[in-house]
Structure 1
């Protein structure tokens, strides 16, 4: 936990109501960071995460909104400041992953992926760049799919390639601010987003292909986020592939 003599740091975690986001919320709270749990539509799950943090002795609150809506995200950042006094860490886990071969994906789905994953990252990163305090950290989410490049992931991988580019450029644009900007790129991780639509055989095959012979867990990814949010002050402008050696 953080030293009681120092003001508590404050984090916003987008997509914090479930999966990797929920694990990140609980891991940052364990380090003494007050957490704003963002949700898109499932307020009940976000409030469940808040209750878990509070029950463990931490501080948390929930706030909803579409990450691709600038007004909603401005309200999210205001909520963090009103509740806890400011923002030190922004972890942007929110994203969507519809899959289809490029030849078969309709443009509406493609546009929805880019709207959430690219526009959403841009909006959250812009606000974070304006509001994160000195000594803070901005952590976006990419994916190891940008290296693995399997079929059906084309539009999703394209969106995360854009996320990586924005992340690395923003790190350079924040010169002199003492704010780190990095991206975490998980490999196959046992979350509902990843497991949805896959057979048990497919999941077992993917797990066996990893040198660690398992899927990642949300907690594995949360440890990498905690590292970048806290002690990793000399890691900046990087993409941290967190995948057990899969790529």
Structure 2
């Protein structure tokens, strides 16, 4: 459901097209290696391993030292099995919600994120991908990428170096920020899109959804509207 919400892939499409026959990260990497006609690289996702270790508590509280160590071990296993790095979610505020349910990575502290990220420095391999951006802006993810790279010596990318019609000069701010990182010897980069991105919406199926299911699942155009979120949380 998080993938439905964040990337707009309808639940019906996921159920029809994906055989969810894995549990661990190495098993997932084995699964995506079968019968693929394109090159695929995978990252170890913070929300995924947090949910795996903490269960429902992953959406409610900070992790204990023992739980953080368990997540670090999952990252080690993933990197050794072929994952390209560690994906860190939501440095824009704390406790991002999907219809009243918090995204696991958004409940985590910076200390937890950096501690888990230290595995890449320990192994001397891998990259970071830091998500975030609107509505909180790019500086949070950018500075998180800087800190992860500074602490580990590994490269980090952040979302998203964009050009928006209502912020025509913002790209210059990105480049100035990145130039400062490079002068410090820090390998932190802004990722960008090669095409215009936008939602697919119609009044019958909502946002990127099949039939009416999209209106009751997280991937909906109404997400973020207080009245809608309140109703859907009940």
TM-score using structure 2 length? 0.38
In our comparison, the structure showing a higher alpha carbon Rg is 2
TM-score using structure 1 length? 0.37
